Amino acid sequence: MSTPLHDDLALAYRSKEVPPVRRIRDGVWSLPIPLVDSALRSVTIHVVETPVGPVLIDAAYDTSGCWDALVERLDGIGHPVESVRAVLLTHNHPDHVGLAERIREVSAATIAIDREDDFAHQHAERGGFLDQLSRALALSGAPEATVDDMYRSALTIARHPESLRADLVLDDDEDLVYGDVVIRAVRTPGHTWGHRVYAVHDVVFTGDTMMPEGPVQLTLPSRPDDAPVRDLLDSLARIRDLGAAIACPAHQYPYLDPAERASELIAQHSRELADAARVASSGATAWEAAPQLTWAKPWAEMGVGTRRFALMQTLALLQSIDR
């Protein structure tokens, strides 16, 4: 368990409320953006104040509701949206990249993302989300009719633009300099191939990689040599070693001692990997192994979407086992 930075924000999350805007420390703010019709309820955009204008970490969904909420909340802490200097993206999911383009249109903001999550690069290397899904399903060993059902069940969630072009595509760990504020951009693949965390002062913005509650969702393995859990374990170790005092994830709530939380998640995902290795020791496919693993809901009671999710997590585990 993690220790919340502010008890009322943890309480708001657990009571399914959208938390208020909060000053995290000098020069760092969290702006929770409400989501309509989403189980996530909110996604948080973080603000780092710098002498050359505010730098945003992530950019919510591309909806008018998210835009209005962002503009209002930024104004509320004294920053017109036109003054935004940069948008640093933790990864390329639609609840994180959504408003980046619109912010750039009204400001002088530059948009940064990791090479592996840059849409142009990803399309050239792996194809779009649906191409990756169909290759992952093919790797899972599921029967053809199941593969068809699962693919169709993903079509509704997969409809989002993958057209954003970043100004700054990050390859290595880099220090991004804004006046006298230096933000460290650290590669942390696992949730996506190009996930990054950003560290400044004693704070690390962890995107979707390290929530205070629950495991990390793994990316789709669409190539035979993909091993997302191994990537994730390395990434968690790198976050653990950053020496930050406060973690600000994009969902849930900010918490203390990210190193402790990273160690806890390393232990948890290592256990999952060991369980998967036991189940799959006889050379089982993901389709054969998934019903034997432990899930929040029994396999027999899962709908097609939940099964697809469980199957993809199983594939990610199996591909990360040395066998």
The reply to whether 58 sits near Zn ion by the rule CB under 5 A is no
In a 10 Å sphere around its CB, with 0-12 CB exposed, 13-18 middle and 19+ buried, how is residue 208 labelled?
buried
Least separation, in Å, of the C-beta of 157 and Zn ion?
13
Q: How many residues of this chain bind Zn ion (CB under 5 A)?
A: 2
| Cβ nearer to Zn ion, comparing 2 with 192 | 192
For the chain, the distance separating the N- and C-terminal CA atoms, rounded to the nearest angstrom, is 32
Question: What is d(CA 313, CA 216) in angstroms, rounded to the nearest whole number?
Answer: 10
CB atoms within 10 A of CB 214: 11
Contacts 24+ apart (CB under 8 A), 293-301: 293/317
The minimum distance between CB 83 and Zn ion, in angstroms, equals 25
* CA 185-189-194 angle, 5° bins: 65
* 231 in contact with Zn ion (CB under 5 A): no
Q: Pairing relation of β-strands 168-170 and 110-114?
A: parallel
Q: What are phi and psi of 239, to 5 degrees?
A: -65, -40
* Shortest reach from residue 238's CB to Zn ion, in Å: 20
Structure token pair of residue 82 = 């036109």
Nearer to Zn ion, 40 or 138 (CB): 40
Residue window 94-113: x/- pattern of binding to Zn ion, with contact defined by CB under 5 A: -x------------------
What 3-state DSSP class applies to 145?
helix
Q: How far is the CB of 43 from Zn ion (least distance, A)?
A: 6
* Contact residue for Zn ion among 62, 114, 116, 208 (CB under 5 A): 208
- CB nearer to Zn ion: give 73 or 91: 91
Q: How far, in Å, CA of 100 to CA of 116, rounded?
A: 18
Considering only the stretches 70-78, 206-214, 238-246, 274-282, report the one whose residues sit in contact with Zn ion under the rule CB under 5 A. Answer: 206-214
User: According to the binding rule CB under 5 A, does residue 226 interact with Zn ion?
Assistant: no
Stretch that binds Zn ion, among 63-71, 88-96, 155-163, 279-287 (CB under 5 A): 88-96
- Output 79 or 195, the one with its CB closest to Zn ion: 195
Where on the chain is the footprint of Zn ion (CB under 5 A)? 95, 208
